[in-house]
Amino acid sequence: MDRVNPEISIERLKNATVALINEEKILQEHDIQVLESSIMPLIENSHGINLIMNFSNVKFLTSSALGLLIRISKKIYEVEGTLLLCCINPKIYQIFEITRLNEVFAIFESQELAIESL
């Protein structure tokens, strides 16, 4: 597993690129910029990438993080790839439900289920 920086680790499993977020809290601008600068280069020039973002370590996030996910999904769309989210804890999943983003993103209970879906 490659540790891109303290905030994120990258692993290639079968036909997927798995980005494990190491941060417990994704708060405001600084956290967002660090994550964005780690993830966007993975997508650029990766036509058809299957990116799985694993949230198992994340216990808290703000609306700024939701904005980042939308930007990532738009970038994935540009390269005709697939974005899957997994291992989102119930409190954070509730934020997705409130904002209806659970209807926008493909969200899986486990990383294995996300990989199997590809």
Partner 1 sequence: MVLKAKVQRSIEIKNDALELGRVCRQILQDVTSDGFSEEEVFAIHLALEEVLVNALKHGNKNNSDKKINIEYNITKNKFEITVTDEGDGFEPEHVPDPRNDENLCKTSGRGMLLIRSYMDKVEYNEKGNSVLLVKNRAK
Smallest gap from residue 22 Cβ to partner 1 (A): 19
Q: Which of 70, 9, 79 is nearest to 50 (CA)?
A: 79
Interface of this chain with partner 1, residues 4 to 23, rule: CB under 8 A = none
Establish if 71 lies at the interface with partner 1 (CB under 8 A).
yes
Smallest gap from residue 114 Cβ to partner 1 (A): 21
What the block records as the tokens of 102 is 């659970």
Cα gap 25→46, rounded to integer Å: 28
Among 56, 101, 106, 117, binds partner 1 (CB under 8 A): 101
Among 24, 37, 74, 118, binds partner 1 (CB under 8 A): 74
Cα gap 22→87, rounded to integer Å: 13
